[in-house]
């Protein structure tokens, strides 16, 4: 019942509004989103880990365990502030700007369900900023104890903001029992919440540790033994990396079987990014264990920078997999990546997906007639999040070897063509218009273009759509397909 009320509210809200996907030329929007998000996550996790590193070093200095630690605390903090506050905050705002241009329904749904969680997260973020700024401003006047208190406060607030946002991000992939109960607690403490939180915390520590090693090399007038003692201390923060394999497996187990399937071979791109992430993590962990702990090697600026770049690669790969493996959903079972709801599909097949789309097509001048224009709008509404026409993941190229009938059938049965695509959600006439648009682009966009108006074609398309049904492909339907 709750579900139905919620669904009908959503349908109402969605049906009356279309938020066109922005066109980034040859870059597909999903990729633009991923790029901004990856950059932000990297910086934000660095900010959290940096807090832990600073607390540790402040403690080392206060307990007399390392006389240079203090030098490091006061130097490192400036970098942390510059990089994570300034760049982190800018890219954070960038995420909002990008996501509303790419999938307003998705971000709207997230805000609708979790606004209090988000407000809590922002409160901790504010605390983080205030504590951080106070330290930045007054660190040279503070007593050791006051400095430690402020750093602990900063770290606690930074980690807490990770705690809160982690629940929302994990929910997108594994909403779990929330789908039925719609309880905020079920959604927040969803199946991948804990493995994801622990995993991210370890990533934070690793990033800070590596950045610390880079920075030790930049402290002026510090001799080699002093640098070495700092590097060895900073490397301690990489110790929790040993738990990564277990947490990684836990995370994979918490994933829905089809998403896990993409990562473990079902989708070559997903698997590639997964391997990059695992490979880079193993390289960093291996260096930490063998080089830094067993042989107590010194790590120079260049090596530390290289390791930090590897860590960026690992983060990027991991985030890409997390975002990509949700397909065909942007929020599992709730919103498709296209911003269309599963519950809407049947209705859109009846009334059309762009019949109330008033927005002009900015980047497609010279459309020859109404049908092709309609097709371009259908493309924007249903395909443009994940595809471009001729740039990355280009539909005009992917369909090059297909004739018109193959196109019609494979698009009508989109979820069976590739199970990570949502079912087609428009009328047969809209699908035919989309095919005309693709053919027109493949024919180099002539200024005059004849389109078919064959009723038999439309009937055949309707038949194919009925055969495929309005549901997303499930693991079972995929297996049936294989047999
Ligand atoms: C959720 C993201 C997503 C959406 C939405 C989406 N696609 Fe795809 N599509 C993909 C991915 C990923 C591939 C795989 C590309 C590859 O194999 O290189 C793909 C593959 C394809 C292919 C090639 C299939 C094959 O068997 O080689 C075609 C054609 C295609 N999509 C057309 C469309 C059309 C038309 C739409 C809109 C009606 C659409 N897609 C919507 C993600 C999506």
Measure the CA–CA gap between 424 and 404, rounded to whole angstroms: 17
Q: Report CA 350 to chain centroid distance, whole Å.
A: 33
Instruction: Select from 284, 314, 335 the last residue of a domain.
Output: 335
Mean pLDDT on 111-135: 94
Ligand 1 centre distance from Cα of residue 387 (Å) = 7
Do both 330 and 347 map to the same domain?
no
6 assigned to some structural domain: no
Instruction: Select from 302, 335, 368 the last residue of a domain.
Output: 335
Distances (CA, A) of 441 to 127, 302, 433: 53, 48, 12
Do both 231 and 300 map to the same domain?
yes
Instruction: Tell me if 372 CB under 6 Å of ligand 1.
Output: no
Q: Look up the pTM and report it.
A: 0.89
4 assigned to some structural domain: no
Ligand 1 centre distance from Cα of residue 277 (Å) = 24
Do both 248 and 350 map to the same domain?
no
Q: Is the pLDDT of residue 139 over 80?
A: yes
Instruction: Select from 335, 365, 400 the last residue of a domain.
Output: 335
Contact 84, 96 (CB under 8 A): no
Measure the CA–CA gap between 55 and 44, rounded to whole angstroms: 17
2 assigned to some structural domain: no
Do both 284 and 374 map to the same domain?
no
249 pLDDT tier (thresholds 50, 70, 90): very high
| Residue of minimum CA distance from atom 31 in ligand 1 | 395
12 assigned to some structural domain: no
Do both 439 and 315 map to the same domain?
no
Shortest-distance atom of ligand 1 to CA 267: 17
Do both 317 and 412 map to the same domain?
no
- The domain tally of the chain equals 2
Q: Is the pLDDT of residue 483 over 50?
A: no
Do both 311 and 380 map to the same domain?
no
pLDDT in tens, 398-435: 999 999 999 999 999 999 999 889 999 999 999 999 99
481 pLDDT tier (thresholds 50, 70, 90): very low
Instruction: Tell me if 377 CB under 6 Å of ligand 1.
Output: no
pLDDT in tens, 195-245: 999 999 999 999 999 999 998 888 888 888 888 899 989 999 999 999 999
Omega prior to 328 cis, within 30 of 0: yes
118 pLDDT tier (thresholds 50, 70, 90): very high
pLDDT in tens, 39-90: 999 999 999 999 999 999 999 999 999 999 998 998 888 888 777 778 888 8
Question: Pick the residue with more confidence: 418 or 291?
Answer: 418
CATH assignment of the domain containing 281: 1.20.1630
Do both 350 and 235 map to the same domain?
no
Range of the domain at 181: 17-335
331 SS3 class? strand
What dihedral angle (degrees, nearest 10) is formed by the CA atoms of 85, 86, 92, 97? 160
Measure the CA–CA gap between 344 and 31, rounded to whole angstroms: 25
Measure the CA–CA gap between 469 and 415, rounded to whole angstroms: 9
Q: Is the pLDDT of residue 314 over 70?
A: yes
Residue whose structure tokens are 């509404």: 381
Q: What proportion of the chain, given as a percentage, has pLDDT over 90? A: 64
Do both 297 and 364 map to the same domain?
no
Measure the CA–CA gap between 235 and 212, rounded to whole angstroms: 9
Q: Is the pLDDT of residue 10 over 70?
A: no
3 assigned to some structural domain: no
Task: Tell me the pLDDT of the chain averaged across its residues.
Answer: 89
Measure the CA–CA gap between 215 and 60, rounded to whole angstroms: 17
Best substitution site from 28, 270, 387, 432 to test ligand 1's pocket, by max atoms within 8 Å of Cβ? 387
Instruction: Tell me if 6 CB under 6 Å of ligand 1.
Output: no
Do both 441 and 410 map to the same domain?
yes
Contact 378, 353 (CB under 8 A): yes
11 assigned to some structural domain: no
Q: Which of 146-160, 324-338, 468-482 has the lowest mean pLDDT?
A: 468-482
Which letter does DSSP use for residue 255 in this model?
S
DSSP string, 151-179: HHHHHHHHHHHHHHHHHHHHHHH--TTHH
Instruction: Tell me if 330 CB under 6 Å of ligand 1.
Output: no
Position 482 scores a pLDDT of 47
Position 6 scores a pLDDT of 59
Mean pLDDT on 111-134: 94
Report the range out of 20-34, 315-329, 336-350 with the highest average pLDDT.
336-350
Q: What proportion of the chain, given as a percentage, has pLDDT over 70? A: 95
Do both 96 and 151 map to the same domain?
yes
Q: Report CA 106 to chain centroid distance, whole Å.
A: 12
Do both 353 and 326 map to the same domain?
no
Contact 304, 217 (CB under 8 A): yes
């Amino acid at each position: 019942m709750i579900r139905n009320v919620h669904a009908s509210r959503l349908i109402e809200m969605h049906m009356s509004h279309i938020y066109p996907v922005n066109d980034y030329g040859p870059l597909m929007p999903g990729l633009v989103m991923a790029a901004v998000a990856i950059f932000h996550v990297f910086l934000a996790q660095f900010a959290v880990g940096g807090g832990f590193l600073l607390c540790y070093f402040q403690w080392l200095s206060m307990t007399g365990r390392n006389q240079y630690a203090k030098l490091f605390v006061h130097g490192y903090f400036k970098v942390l502030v510059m990089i994570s506050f300034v760049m982190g905050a800018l890219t954070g705002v960038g995420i909002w700007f990008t996501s509303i241009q790419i999938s307003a329904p998705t971000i709207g749904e997230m805000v609708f369900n979790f606004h209090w969680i988000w407000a809590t997260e922002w409160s901790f973020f504010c605390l983080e900023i205030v504590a951080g700024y106070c330290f930045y401003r007054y660190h040279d006047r503070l007593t050791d104890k006051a400095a430690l208190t402020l750093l602990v406060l900063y770290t606690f607030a930074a980690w807490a903001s990770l705690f809160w946002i982690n629940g929302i991000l994990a929910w997108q992939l594994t909403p779990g029992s929330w789908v039925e109960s719609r309880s905020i607690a079920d959604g927040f403490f969803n199946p991948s919440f804990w493995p994801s939180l622990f995993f991210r915390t370890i990533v934070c520590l690793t990033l800070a540790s590596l950045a610390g090693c880079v920075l030790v090399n930049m402290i002026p007038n510090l001799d080699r033994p002093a640098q070495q003692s700092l590097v060895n201390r900073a490397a301690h923060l990489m110790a929790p990396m040993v738990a990564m394999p277990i947490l990684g497996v836990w995370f994979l187990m918490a994933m829905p079987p089809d998403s896990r399937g993409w990562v473990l071979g079902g989708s070559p791109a997903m698997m590639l990014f997964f391997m990059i992430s695992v490979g880079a993590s193993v390289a960093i962990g291996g260096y930490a264990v063998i080089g830094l702990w067993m042989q107590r090697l010194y790590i120079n600026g260049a090596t530390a920078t290289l390791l930090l770049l590897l860590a960026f690669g690992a983060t990027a790969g991991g985030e890409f997999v997390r975002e990509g493996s949700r397909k065909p959903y942007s929020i599992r079972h709730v919103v498709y990546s296209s911003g269309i709801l599963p519950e809407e599909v049947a209705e859109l097949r009846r009334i059309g997906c762009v019949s109330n789309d008033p927005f002009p097509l900015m980047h497609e001048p010279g459309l020859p007639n109404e049908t092709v224009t309609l097709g371009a709008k259908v493309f924007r509404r249903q395909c443009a999040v994940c595809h471009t026409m001729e740039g990355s993941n280009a539909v005009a190229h992917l369909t090059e070897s297909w004739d018109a009938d193959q196109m019609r059938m494979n698009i009508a049965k989109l979820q069976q063509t590739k199970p990570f695509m949502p079912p087609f959600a428009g009328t047969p006439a809209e699908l035919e218009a989309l095919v005309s648009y693709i053919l027109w682009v493949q024919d180099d966009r002539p200024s005059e273009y004849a389109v078919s108006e064959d009723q038999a074609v439309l009937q055949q398309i309707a038949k194919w759509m009925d055969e495929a049904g309005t549901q997303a492909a499930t693991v079972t339907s995929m297996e049936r397909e294989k047999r």
